[in-house]
Structure 1
Amino acid sequence: MITVRRSNDRGHFDHGWLDTRHTFSFADYHDPRHMGFRALRVINEDRVAPGQGFGTHGHRDMEILSYVLSGRLAHRDSMGSGSSLGPGEVQRMTAGTGVLHSEFNGSDSEPVHFLQIWILPGRQGLLPGYEQRAFPEEERRGRLRLVASPDGADGSVTIHQDARVHAGLLGGGDQVVLSLEADRHAWVQVVRGKLRVGDETLSAGDGAALSEEREVRLAGVDASEVLVFDLA
C-alpha cells in the first residue's frame, strides 16, 4: 500500500527570515492525521535567509539529521561541536539527555535550503553525540546510497534506531529498487525533480508512505533527488 502526502498539503509558514514546510505536525502546525510515520517524526524543508538562523535552543531524546540541498549551514552545540555543512553532507546529532545547539545560514549573501529530520531513538537517556559525513554526487547518482543506519554501515552516520536512510540522484529513465524485509515500512521524500514510486508520480516536496510492500521501486521522470527511509 502506498499513501501519498502532497507537497501543497504540508504545513507552511513564511516568517520572512525562514520559509518552512512541515510534512508532519511540528510547532504551530498540528494535524492529528500526520504526526509522523513509524519512528520518523519530523521532515521540515527549511529555507533560511542570509545571516539568519535558529538561535541556541535545547533538545532531548531525539535523533536529528540535517541534509543540505544548497548553501551552507553553520552548526554549534554545547558538546563543543562546530561545523559548516554543505550539499551532499549529512549531520547527525543525538540529543539524548539534553543538548543546546544553534543552526545558522553560514552565508551573508546566499540562502540555505535544507531538510531537518527527526527520528525517535530506540531508547531514552542516550549520551549526546554529533557526527558529520560527506556523500559525493558520484556515490548517489543512479543509486540509493546509505547515509544513516544503526550500525554506521558503509560509512553512513550512526543513528540510535532501527532505521536506515538512503539518498539518491536519479535522471530521467533511471530505475532503482530497494528491497524491504517482511514487516518493514518505508517513507519516500522527493527533494527535487519528479519520479515514480510504483504507480504514483511524485514531485518535489511530495512524500509517500509504503506499508505491506516488499520493495521500493523508483523510476526517474526527470532529474530528481530523493531520500528513502527504511523503518521498522
Structure 2
Amino acid sequence: MNTVLHKAVTRGQANHGWLQSKHTFSFANYHNPERMHFGTLRVLNDDIVAPSMGFGTHPHRDMEIISIPLEGDLEHKDSMGNTAVIKSGDIQVLSAGSGITHSEYNKNSNSEVKFLQIWVLPNKKGVTPRYDQITLNTIDRENKLQQILSPTPEDAGVWIHQNAWFHITNLEQGNTVNYALKNPDKNGVYAFILKGDATINHQNLNKRDGFGVWGVDSLDIHADSSTEILLMEVPMTL
C-alpha cells in the first residue's frame, strides 16, 4: 500500500477579497513541486465566493472540470449557451475539450457560495466540449457510498472522459463502509474529508484533510465522528 497525506493546514491559500481559496495541489500562485497532482487528479480547490461576486469569463481546454457546491447558489454561463445554477446536492461537469469559455458567479447578494472545484486530466484530447449537471438524492449517501461520477453515461452520476469514479458518503459516528476500487491495478483513491473525523486504512483524518492511497484493492472507512467524505478514484498514470 502506498499513501500520501495532505493535512488541511498544509494547503496553499489565496485571499482575493471576493474569493478565498485553499489549494490541495499546485494552482495559480501556489506552486509546490511535491504537490502537483495525484495521478490524473490535477486540481482540488476549496473555494468561498463573496455575495454577488465570481469568476469572469475565462477559457479552458482539454480538462474535465467538476464543481460540487457545498453551500449557496453558483450561476454558470458558457460559450455553448448554457446558463444554469447549481446548489448543494448538485454536481456539475464541464468537458473543456477543444476549447470553451465560461463564468461562475455567486447568485446571491447576501450569502457566500462554498464549492469544490476539481480538475481531472482527460484520457482524450480535443473532444467536443460538453456540459452537464444533475441533482443527487443525498439520502442515498447516508451510511453508504453514493456514486456521483463515472466514465460512462449509462452509469450513476455525471460522466467524464477518464476512467474515474467519485463517491460521497455521510457516515454517522461509529459506522463503517468499505470501498472496493473499480480498477485496483491502475487506479488510486484520493479521500477528502468534507466534515468530521474518520479513519481510512488505519490513518486518522480530520476535516479538509486529504489522503491518497494506491496499490490496494479496497479502503476501510470508519467514522470517528459524524463525517462526510468525498472519494475520488483516478488512474495513477498520466
- Shared fold per TM-score greater than 0.5: yes
CA offsets 1:14-72 (integer angstroms, 9 cap, x no match): 11111100000001100010001111000000001100100000000000000011111
Question: Could you list the per-position Cα deviations for residues 58-111 of structure 1 after superposition, in whole angstroms to 9, with x for gaps in the alignment?
Answer: 000000000011111110100111111011110000001111100111110010
Q: How far apart in 2 are the matches of 1:39 and 1:14?
A: 27
The equivalences for 1:183-222 within 5 A come to 183=185, 184-222=187-225
- Superposition RMSD in Å: 1.1
Q: CA deviation at 1:123?
A: 1.4
Tell me the distance in 1 between the aligned counterparts of 2:29 and 2:13: 10
- Give distance in 2, aligned partners of 1:153 and 1:212: 28
Change (3 A) 1:155 1:211: closer
Asked if 1:48 is matched to 2:49, the reply is yes
What one-letter code is carried by the residue in structure 2 that aligns with 1:219?
H
* Other structure's SS at 1:122 match: coil
Counterpart Cα distance in 2 of 1:143 and 1:111: 29
**Mapping for residues 1-232 of structure 1, pairs under 5 Å:** 1-180=2-181, 181-183=183-185, 184-232=187-235
What whole-Å deviation, never above 9, does each CA across 1:109-158 have from its counterpart, x for those lacking one? 01010000000010110100000011122011111111111113443101
SS state of the match for residue 9, structure 2? helix
Shift of 1:213: 1.4
Q: What amino acid is the match of 1:78?
A: S
Deviates more, 1:215-224 or 1:100-109: 215-224
Q: Distance in 2 between matches of 1:153 and 1:33?
A: 36
Write the letter of the residue equivalent to 1:190: I
Unmatched 5+ residue regions in structure 1?
Answer: none
Q: Is the 8 A contact 2:97 2:129 kept in 1?
A: yes
- The percent identity for this pair of structures is 38
Contact 2:54–2:105 (8 Å) recurs in 1: yes
Question: Where in structure 2 are there 5+ consecutive unaligned residues?
Answer: none
* TM score, norm. by length of structure 1: 0.97
SS at match of 1:155: coil
One-letter code aligned to 1:182: P
Q: Is the 8 A contact 2:150 2:156 kept in 1?
A: no
User: How far apart in 2 are the matches of 1:120 and 1:196?
Assistant: 28
Once residues 209 and 158 of structure 1 are traced to their aligned partners in structure 2, the CA distance between those partners, rounded to angstroms, is: 22
Structure 1 segments of 4 or more deviating over 2 A? Answer: 152-155
TM-score, structure 2 normalization? 0.95
CA distance in 1, matches of 2:184, 2:68: 28
